[in-house]
Amino acid sequence: MPSAKNPYKPKTRSSQNKTAMFPTLHEDVKNNLSEYSINPEPWFNSNENDRTMLEDYSTFVMGRFECHNQNCAQRGWGSKKIAITIQRFPNNGYNAVVFKQRCKSPGCNRLGRLRLDKNSYVERVTYRLKKWAGIPMETPEYDGFEGGPPHLSKLCEGCKAGRCQMSVGAMASRFRSSTYGHRFLVAQYNE
């Protein structure tokens, strides 16, 4: 059960893990999908490395990071471009892998502790699940992702993994083959 202090805690993992998943937000995603008849009903796959993935989509969410290095003057920072990869699995399974960022203070470079913006996560995951279910959708405008400090690829674990839309590696891997052999778009800059 999530704590009252931070109800959107990632699945328990090492603080040095470069990614986080938020299975506790699945109920919020389901609630956002409740007016649509999607069969079978989407379910959360907590296995980040499941090889049965059919397709994936990389985008951004928003949130804050806290630096817990006691020798660092940087206590935290906000980001409007936190890399997330939403993955689709058979029978409407999905998960969402959120990539952490590192502290930019000189000599620190420690992974920040993520405090996810719930609304941006639920909105992005819900939108992608609707698209995959074939529900007609207009491309939303995400004004909230503009502005803020510049994205620093050297501090973004999504960039290092080639999963962030801001990384050079993501451009080369925008298309990949699914298990059925067709090609599909992994990341689009306008969505």
**Domain assignment of residue 9, yes or no:** no
User: What is the pTM for the complete model shown?
Assistant: 0.79
Residue 13 lies in a domain: no
Cα angle value 183/189/191 (rounded, 5°) = 85
State which residues form the domain around 83.
19-185
Is residue 42, in this structure, part of any structural domain at all?
A: yes
Residue 169 maps to a domain: yes
Say if 50 falls within a structural domain: yes
Residue 161, beta-bridge partner list? none
Residue 10 covered by a domain: no
- Cα 102 from Cα 76, distance rounded (Å): 10
> Into how many domains does the chain fold?
1
In a domain, 115, yes or no: yes
- Cβ–Cβ under 8 Å, residues 30 and 81: no
> Does residue 14 form part of some domain?
no
Output the tens digit of pLDDT for each of the chain's 191 residues.
444 455 455 554 455 799 999 999 999 999 999 999 999 999 999 998 899 999 999 999 999 999 999 999 888 999 999 999 999 999 999 999 999 999 999 889 999 999 999 999 999 999 999 999 999 988 877 655 566 678 889 999 999 999 998 875 554 444 443 333 333 333 333 33
The pairing of beta strand 175-177 with beta strand 183-185? antiparallel
